[in-house]
Structure 1
């Protein structure tokens, strides 16, 4: 089969499309013929040797979409359209940058809609992460408010769209004024230009502060995000767009506002006993995107042969949505 691997860490130029052996389905696994996959910052960090233990000659990728071609358990029908994410992909087994992969059945979601593979490939990692962070960590409710810090990332855009569909008032941030209209079109009620210090802008919109905040940027803006949150509000950190996950001189007494809850969500939990994907709303999201009720966040589509170009776009961070690669 064809797979995209790197023999050593480095820039996009280390990625190669090569022939490798197909994986063999083990107990508890299914085999998927991959049709498309989305790109994630985690894959850029991994490719560069800055995330996890680098494994040469193992296909990259933490998500993919395609169809079932083998399921010893019989849980999924052959030919079933599915999406998958995490479950050791890229780290302990071939990831989604391959024609065929075997994955744990618990990390697979059956998709019933007629959504295209190009659109579906933009959804799994972004929306499953948003589901975990918003529904499990924050336990959002209709009528509440949500600040999305770093909203032009693919997961940020997914959060805006998902929260709007769930009946929340969304404040989205971006550093680029050119992104304002885009964010409003996908569900943001308000867009704040982020100069690193936005809490006064947020409280000018909602004087008491937001109920909930999704921190996609990370440590660089966390203190300011906490200041944007009301008493008894909550913040969940999911991203590292702002660099290393290190809180310099963070004082729990002075920097964590009284009664505000702070938590972290990692998509590594997806598919575990604590967060089985059969409980996720991904099939519903796919239906909403297909019928136009929720926006398509696909920004750019590449073929597998153009993976180096796709990763250059991923690295420079200007896609304004999800980068999708077709296999």
Structure 2
């Protein structure tokens, strides 16, 4: 085994900054595992890294914060050759080379075995998306059957998946978009109500829920946060879990006037421990049986990674973009 195909960024920039190159196949250190990557999903955070906006990332770098595939080499790790696995985060694509390649090496402690009959196109979409959605809903928002949830940024892959899972778990779901033509997409994926998001939707939301909603999953970012807090009911929780609006800080933030009394503000960011601990077997079996259906976005080959990034940059996907290697 001499070389592998990889998508490499040498200098930060737009989609054209990504180059397909031949790279040496990485050798795993003790306690690390080499995965033969079969599929991976694209993530908005990889756009930030590609542009040079992820602090501390050194170039050249193979991007990619997730991967699915089979174990190819596993010295002193406890994994067996050929096992189907998934991995996310833990420094992938930032501190060390990530999943945009035919092979990737990661610490054994951030790998999850998956027992499933799903094809690679489906499986490749799931690790980062599912752990983000499940973690935000259950770790941060503590959702419960019969509750209500507002999802801002509803047509993103995370927003669509959150609506699907929340509806399956018995919540009433409101989701937002900037384009009325996407209302049908929101409803298809579990939203009971769809709203146009102009960053001040609290008045419209309260026509549906006069007392506010029990939970708000805000994927837009700091630009909509104050209004999201105004959408929450007494003892409701607002979870900031994304930055689709490309804004990460609030100028002149005044907690006493911005956070209503009795409303809780939290965040969720991708976590390896959630990926390891979440109920994968139950979720995968429901996906296999068709009980859970997540919106599939475009599928590309690794050679077409530049066009895949253009698709993500232009918000054309309407689902999780997957790359097959």
TM-score > 0.5 by shorter chain: yes
Structure 1 position 23 matched with structure 2 position 40: no
- Aligned partner (choices 275, 280, 294) of residue 277 of structure 1: 275
Distance in structure 1 (CA, Å) of the matches to 2:117 and 2:106: 23
Q: Equivalent residue of 2:70, what SS?
A: strand
C-alpha distance 74-60 of structure 1, shift in aligned 2 (>3 A) = closer
Query: Which deviates more, 115-124 or 247-256?
Result: 247-256
Aligned to 1:199: 202
Q: CA deviation at 1:249?
A: 2.9
Q: Distance in 1 between matches of 2:280 and 2:78?
A: 18
Write out aligned runs for 1:100-179 (5 A).
100-179=103-182
The match for 1:9 among 9, 12, 37 is 12
Match among 311, 322, 326 for residue 324 of structure 2: 326
Distance (Å, rounded) in 1 between the aligned partners of 2:174 and 2:274: 30
Task: Report the counterpart of residue 184 of structure 2 in structure 1.
Answer: 181
2:259 corresponds to 1:261: no
Give the structure 2 partner of residue 221 of structure 1.
224
Deviation at 1:297, TM superposition (A): 2.1
In structure 2, C-alpha distance between the alignment counterparts of 1:237 and 1:318, rounded to whole Å: 23
Match of 2:284 in 1: 286
CA distance in 1, matches of 2:88, 2:299: 19
* Partner SS state of residue 253, structure 2: coil
Deviations 1:34-57 (A, max 9, x none): 001111111111111112233223
What residue is the counterpart of 1:306 in the other structure? 304
User: How much does 1:82 deviate?
Assistant: 1.5
- Describe the SS at the equivalent of 1:118: helix
- In the alignment, is the contact (CA less than 8 A) between 1:143 and 1:169 conserved in 2? yes
Q: State the 1:181 CA deviation.
A: 1.2
Aligned residues: 322
Query: How much has 1:110 moved relative to structure 2?
Result: 1.7
Provide closer, same or farther for how the CA distance between residues 184 and 307 of structure 1 changes in structure 2, counting only shifts above 3 A.
same
CA distance in 1, matches of 2:129, 2:307: 21
CA contact (8 A) 2:32 2:77 kept: no
- Alignment TM-score, normalising by the size of structure 1: 0.94
Matched position secondary structure for 2:134:
helix
Once residues 128 and 69 of structure 2 are traced to their aligned partners in structure 1, the CA distance between those partners, rounded to angstroms, is: 14
* Distance in 2, Cα, partners of 1:144 & 1:104: 38
What is the CA–CA distance in structure 2 between the aligned matches of 1:266 and 1:61, rounded to whole Å? 16
Using the TM superposition, give the Cα deviation of residue 5 of structure 1 relative to its aligned residue in structure 2, in angstroms.
0.3
Q: Is the 8 A contact 2:221 2:241 kept in 1?
A: yes
**2: distance between equivalents of 1:9 and 1:242?**
20
User: Structure 1 residues 105-114 or 253-262, which shifts more?
Assistant: 105-114
Which stretches of structure 1, 4 residues or longer, exceed 4 Å deviation after superposition?
none
Partner of 1:34: 37
Cα gap change, 1:73 to 1:284, in 2 (>3 Å): farther
Distance 1:178 1:295 in 2: 21
Task: Determine if the alignment matches structure 1 residue 66 to structure 2 residue 64.
Answer: no
Report deviation, 1:152.
Answer: 0.6
Aligned mates of 1:277, 1:106 — CA distance in 2: 11
